[in-house]
Structure 1
């Protein structure tokens, strides 16, 4: 079930906006299923400025390595340090404990261009 309260990218990342405007980012359940067992997650550094379309980290699984893309332009203000020791959280809780990083968007209006849950479901139905 795709959570309704999130926004999604065509690259299979999700974005959750908090009350203070910070955006938490992770990969979708669909993405983690395609990857298989996640064994390593490399995240951006706090303070980095990230841009849409530019990889800012990687997820390595037993099957492949995939890049992580930010859903909006912004400054990284937090990372999920638990993933260093427990990368399997990405598989177990992709929308919870498996989140990857947080950023403060330069232009919050960019979030409006992301997919809602219904549009993301249509995208993944085509896979």
Structure 2
């Protein structure tokens, strides 16, 4: 299992959604590292988070990684459908492979 902040930074994309809101999603580097995704486990789903806090464990056919927040903030929302559809992380689709929205409050 890989559990390093720098791995998380490579495995994520970040996109502003609204003033103060940033969306985190699964990037191509993450897909290459883990292979087809088999299972997801949320490490946290609500509240304030700090840089480096774990938020999602992604288990793939090649590797398992623990994704950590690349910035601090408050969780505004998580993608509630990801656990039921971990295969959504296998292909790039910003509407489906997003993970969490963070508010910088």
Partner of 2:65: 66
1:83 aligns with 2:91: no
Deviates more, 1:52-61 or 1:87-96: 87-96
TM-score normalised by L of structure 2: 0.79
Partner of 1:45: 45
- 1 or 2, which has the higher strand percentage? 2
Runs ≥4 residues deviating over 6 A: none
Return 5+ residue gaps in structure 1 as ranges.
1-8, 107-127
Q: RMSD of the TM alignment (CA)?
A: 1.8
In structure 1, C-alpha distance between the alignment counterparts of 2:93 and 2:51, rounded to whole Å: 21
In terms of Rg, which structure is larger? 1
Instruction: Tell me the secondary structure at the aligned position of residue 102 of structure 2.
Output: strand
TM-score normalised by L of structure 1: 0.67
**1:72-98 C-alpha deviation (Å, 9 max, x unpaired):** 101111011111211011112354311
Q: Alignment length, in residue pairs?
A: 97
Q: How does 1:99-110 map to 2 (within 5 A)?
A: 99-106=98-105
